[in-house]
Amino acid sequence: MAPKTAITPTRSENYAEWYQQVVKAADLAEVSPVRGCMVIKPWGCALWENIHRVLDGMFQETGHENAYFPLFIPISFLQSEADHVDGFAKECAVVTHHRLTMNSEGKLVPDGLLEEPLIVRPTSETIIGATYAKWVQSYRDLPIKINQWANVVRWEMRPRVFLRTAEFLWQEGHTAHATEAEAREETHTMLKTYERFARDYMAMPVVCGEKPSGERFPGAVATYSIEAMMQDRKALQAGTSHFLGQNFAKAQGIKFQDRDTQEKFAWTTSWGVSTRLIGALIMTHSDDNGLVLPPRLAPKHVAIVPIYKNDAEKEGVIQYANRIRSLLMAERYEGETIRVTIDDRDMRFGDRAWYQVKHGVPLRVEVGPKEVEAGTVTVFRRNTLAKENMTVEQLVATAATQLQTIQRELFETAEKFLKANSVRVQTRDELLAFLGDSDEGSMENGGFAYAHFCDKPEMYEWLKQHRLTVRCAPLDEPKTPGKCVFSGEDTDTVGVFAKSY
């Protein structure tokens, strides 16, 4: 008989449905009444707030400031950048009226036609570019390095909570520079910032690389991404950084007088990550018992679960739990107060224990009358489900170390999985044999296939036919001569190929 798990179906039985059930069991989010949109619940919101807080600190360290720009963008702003518009046109939500009126049948209908339709922000390059054009007059006004935390709308036909929704939360950085070298350096700095965040906080290994032409951000000169492997061996694009060259500056009139008194166009960049990172966390670390969270981002580090049979036992156990909570919160983990909750809700102990498992709290501490009498606790580590009895003093002394160990082990497990499921192939047949030609993931096959390629239309046609994608050309991959697996031509460029979300 298979062991009991909190989540059904399991990953191996139905990965896509397993993902939805993990989200539900952890109270992260739910589908909203508006098709394609989601309600982010408190546990999911707390997780996003931790991501927001850490990343925002990283942005400040690299010299960026926060600002906010309008949700609505005049359609004429998008028309000024043809390539950009073409890439987003089918996903744009358009506002055409500015009020509602009651018709003769007593129904509300749109009224007040706008002189110019407004686009609900799919991304902000155009409106921010128009603003920068007003701000920039001289080289002394550069660089401008601004980040915005906001929501965006991209009309999604196949929604999936956190991974693809019509509205989602994100940050978008937009910078303008006097030289190409500065802008390119900015692009790579932010890519490395995302890589560091994924590695050090999400405990998620990623491949950093440049997107080939068919995968670039609309209007960009170069797009770079971090690519992560989920447990079904599909790739997930977890963050992007774009070198926009002077394309947007020319379209939006961002120009300045340089030191040589010549008028020049600025060089711009943009970069961003979204609530998709929560989906990445779920699919990188979680198991058939529910959510597993890296301690550095977990809303709570420790959940104390009291055990008692009656009110007489409850009073002493709760006092004991409160004492442990105070002692733990006086300790520090990664320079912060250890975040502790006591789950003493009016429900069965087993239900409360499973609740903490499904929510991914790194350490669960159980205390009952026996522990009170002995001065001990029973500690469960979420990532391994290992159980250990120890004194209160031992718990307090080792809590931070245990959290550090969990963080490290999660990364090591994910990195081992990534390496074990990455191969090098020499032909299209080998590529197809490794990845298959179905967009359905599994727990047994697929992964990242490294292969030489030429960036030509026939490659994209073949990949589309087999429902595969080229993720990026890894930046740490040495330039070695080889044959393109699609055309047989000589090339020194190696790409990562995978099924993807």
CATH code, domain with 391: 3.40.50.800
- Would you give per-residue pLDDT tens digits along the chain (501 residues)? 455 678 999 999 999 999 999 999 999 999 999 989 999 999 999 999 999 999 999 999 999 999 999 999 999 998 877 666 777 788 899 999 999 999 999 999 999 999 999 999 999 999 999 999 999 999 999 999 999 999 999 988 788 999 999 999 999 999 999 999 999 999 999 999 999 999 999 999 999 999 999 999 999 999 999 999 999 999 999 999 999 999 999 999 999 999 999 999 999 999 999 999 999 999 999 999 999 999 999 999 999 999 999 999 999 999 999 999 999 999 999 999 999 999 999 999 999 999 999 999 999 999 999 999 999 999 999 999 999 999 999 999 999 999 999 999 999 999 999 999 999 999 999 999 999 876 554 566 789 999 999 999 999 999 999 999 999 999 999 999 999 999 999 999 999 999 999
8 A C-beta contact, residue 343 and residue 351: no
Output the furthest CA–CA distance in the chain (Å, rounded): 84
Check whether residue 123 and residue 270 sit in a common domain. yes
485 inside domain: yes
Query: What is the residue-wise DSSP string for 367-390?
Result: E-HHHHHHTEEEEEETTT--EEEE
User: Same domain, yes or no, for 142 and 196?
Assistant: yes
Contacts of 333 (CB under 8 A, 6+ apart): 295, 301, 399, 400, 403, 404
431 domain residue, yes or no: yes
Domain CATH for 196:
3.30.930.10
Please tell me the distance from the alpha carbon of residue 119 to that of residue 117, in angstroms, as a whole number.
7
Q: Do the domain assignments include residue 292? A: no
Of 371, 402, 433, which one is at a domain's C-terminal end? 402
Residue 379 located in a structural domain:
yes
Domain holding 449, by residue range, is 423-498
- Say how many residues make up the chain: 501
Asked whether residue 362 falls in the same domain as residue 448, the answer is no
- What is the CATH number for 437? 3.30.110.30
Within-domain flag for 416: no
DSSP 3-state assignment of 72? strand
Residues 451 and 342 in one domain: no
Asked whether residue 297 is assigned to any structural domain, the reply reads no
395 and 428 in a single domain? The answer is no
Judge if 247 and 351 occupy the same domain. Answer: no
Domain count of the chain?
A: 3
- On whether both 247 and 364 belong to a single domain, the answer is no
Q: Are residues 132 and 252 in the same domain?
A: yes
Of the chain, the end-to-end C-alpha distance in Å amounts to: 33
Q: Report if residue 408 sits inside a domain.
A: no
147 and 206 share one domain: yes
Q: Looking at the domain assignment, is residue 194 inside a domain?
A: yes
Separation between Cα atoms, residue 365 and residue 382, nearest integer Å: 11
Q: Note whether 242 and 386 are same-domain residues.
A: no
- Are residues 485 and 363 part of one domain? no
User: Do 63 and 180 lie in a common domain?
Assistant: yes
